[in-house]
Amino acid sequence: MFLETQTPATGGLVALILPFVIMFAIVYFLMIRPQQAQQKQRQAMLDALKKGDKVITIGGIHGEITALTDDTVILSIADKTDIVISRSGVGSVKNG
C-alpha cells in the first residue's frame, strides 16, 4: 500500500470563496451603493444653497439664508436674530 498525497481540488477552493463573493456583492448593491448615491445627492443640495433659500437645519431650526461662505451659512430665524451654522448643518431646503 502506497500513501498518496492528494492536492486540493481547485473546485473546492472556488466553492469556498464563492459564498463570500456573493455576500459582498449583496452588501454592495443593498447598502454601499445606495449610501453613495445619497451622499452625492446631499452634496449637490449643499452646493446649490443660495441667499434667500428657506432651510431646515439638522437640529430642526427653520430659517432663511441671508449670507453664506464656503463653510458657513448665516440664517435669519426671527426679526434681528441671525445665527451662524456650518454649511453641513443644513438638513434640507424647504419648497416654497
Chunked mean pLDDT (size 10), the chain, 96 residues? 59 86 94 95 95 95 95 95 96 86
Residue-level pLDDT at 54: 96
Examine residue 33 and state whether it is found in any structural domain, yes or no: yes
User: What's the pTM?
Assistant: 0.71
Rounded (5°) CA angle 14-20-23: 135
Examine residue 2 and state whether it is found in any structural domain, yes or no: no
Sheet holding 72-78, edge to edge: 81-86, 72-78, 62-68, 54-57, 90-93
Name the residue with cell 452625492: 40
Residue-level pLDDT at 85: 96
Residue-level pLDDT at 10: 63
CATH number for the domain that contains residue 94: 2.30.30.60
The tally of domains found in the chain comes to 2
Residue-level pLDDT at 17: 92
- For residue 57, what are the domain limits? 50-96
The secondary structure of 21-42 as a DSSP string is HHHHHHHIIIIIHHHHHHHHHH
Residue-level pLDDT at 72: 95
Q: Are 88 and 43 in contact (CB under 8 A)?
A: no
